[in-house]
Amino acid sequence: MLPNYHESLDYFFCLDCKKKIIIRSNNGYGHGICGCYRYPLVDNILILKKRPDTEETARLISEGKFEHAKLLQTEVSFSLYHRILNKLTKQDIGLLNHIMYRFIIQQRKKRMKILEKLMTEKKIYTLFSALEAGKWGEYCIFRFVSESFIIGKHILQCLSPNIKIKKQGIILDHLCGAGHYSFILSNIFKNCRVISTDQSFLNLFITKNFFNKNGIFLCIDGNNKLPIKEKIIDLFWSSDAFHYLIKDRQRYLVEDYSRVLGENGVLVQAHLHIKGGKNVGEGNSHTLSEYETIFSNIPSCSYNEQEIMTKLFQNYRVDGDAIILIGTKNKEELETIKKKITKSIGKRKPAISNSFLYQNPLINLFDDSGNKKFYHDRLFENKKNSGEWI
């Protein structure tokens, strides 16, 4: 039996007072109490960011206004929301509320609609279109068949039989986005608990409802240390995200990743952008040797995504330039894993394309034939000559 949600939360602590966070909740709503703060638990998503809107959410929950609390956490525009809210003080929010009362009512109505969609929508395509999340929505719709995901999933399939993960182990999908990898991880490691983290409540809400039903969800700022007890993570997975963290903090954050990693734990940083590699949204990316320095306290090896793709599909050119970095605390273990992975790369063709779309249980979430065709055409746009895809 997996530990239940509340037992698992014994693993989390407050970054300021360092005390364990104790959850008091009713039907997924409540508070996480430490020695200095009241972190709100909103629909089983624990908000661990100390901000004025977090305090307001905690207050609404204590008054039993659960739907209001959820609405307050629901972002309308993903990126803009974070950029603005991160900068506001409590007084600013009060003033803003006063000046923009009508606007805020409108926004609330919009958020309500978003949440209603989230509760009822079964099809990923329609869901993300309805969220009007722009490029982010498109990223989420196509994520399962995007190049970097196909490569990351392949590496995960090569890695998973070769790593020691204990029963009821703990897996972290750090900066999980809408949870596509949380889905894969929770399916591969069925006896484990997958913790999904992100800064966005809405992303975590999607992850929880669609992709990681038995997971644990932490809404955090990834530029801070992890609020997680040391040495408890068996597999630390993160994809397409590290390069978005603050440059000056990256090295310090890696030290913290090493702190939470178990003795036999494995760390994977998938799709790390290489500096100048023409990746979409380059972020604070680095050269390979700079990454080696940043990750130097965790023995690691890296694989170039183009090389993996070439092994999988001859003559295929990936857009951009990125690597997958794999690390463990134990150097010998790293050598063993490296040998096994290197041997298996390219051996097993990933089940993508039509067969992926039709066999995957998530197919129910995609739209019917019209959109499947659209989806399919996008994927095959530049790959018409590669017979291996179908």
Ligand X SMILES: C[S@@+](CC[C@H](N)C(=O)[O-])C[C@H]1O[C@@H](n2cnc3c(N)ncnc32)[C@H](O)[C@@H]1O
What is the H or E stretch that residue 81 is in? helix 78-85
Q: Which amino acid is at 313?
A: F
Among the listed residues 44, 54, 186, 200, the single contact to ligand X using CB under 6 A: 200
CA distance 286 to 288: 6
CB of 245 to ligand X, least distance (A): 6
140 SS3 class? helix
Asked if 207 touches ligand X (CB under 6 A), the answer is: no
Q: Which has the closest alpha carbon to 174: 144, 218, 209?
A: 218
CA distance 341 to 147: 19
Among the listed residues 8, 186, 203, 300, the single contact to ligand X using CB under 6 A: 203
CB of 225 to ligand X, least distance (A): 12
| Straight-line distance from the first to the last Cα atom of the chain, in angstroms, rounded to the nearest whole number | 40
CB of 383 to ligand X, least distance (A): 21
Nearer to ligand X, 235 or 334 (CB): 235
H helical segments located in 63-133: 66-73, 78-85, 90-99, 101-120, 124-130
Select the residue whose beta carbon is closest to ligand X and give its number.
177
CB of 224 to ligand X, least distance (A): 8
Asked if 239 touches ligand X (CB under 6 A), the answer is: yes
Asked if 244 touches ligand X (CB under 6 A), the answer is: yes
Q: Residue 321: what are its φ and ψ, rounded to 5°? A: -140, 120
Asked if 222 touches ligand X (CB under 6 A), the answer is: yes
Among the listed residues 10, 55, 221, 321, the single contact to ligand X using CB under 6 A: 221
72 SS3 class? helix
CB of 312 to ligand X, least distance (A): 18
Scan residues 173-192 and list those touching ligand X (CB under 6 A): 175-177, 180-181
Q: Residues touching ligand X: how many (CB under 6 A)?
A: 18
Nearer to ligand X, 3 or 283 (CB): 283
Asked if 257 touches ligand X (CB under 6 A), the answer is: no
Q: Which amino acid is at 247?
A: K
Nearer to ligand X, 204 or 337 (CB): 204
Question: Counting Cβ atoms within 10 Å, is residue 297 exposed (0-12), middle (13-18) or buried (19+)?
Answer: middle
CA distance 158 to 344: 6
CB of 282 to ligand X, least distance (A): 12
Name the E strands within 34-104: 38-42, 45-47
Among the listed residues 241, 294, 318, 326, the single contact to ligand X using CB under 6 A: 241
Task: Report which DSSP code applies to 276.
Answer: T
CB of 221 to ligand X, least distance (A): 5
CA distance 104 to 100: 6
CB of 47 to ligand X, least distance (A): 12
CA distance 35 to 207: 30
Spatial contact of 23 and 9, defined as CB atoms under 8 Å apart: yes
Q: What string marks each residue from 299 to 328 as x (binds ligand X by CB under 6 A) or -?
A: ------------------------------
Binding residues for ligand X, rule: CB under 6 A, are 143, 175-177, 180-181, 198-200, 203, 221-223, 239-241, 244-245
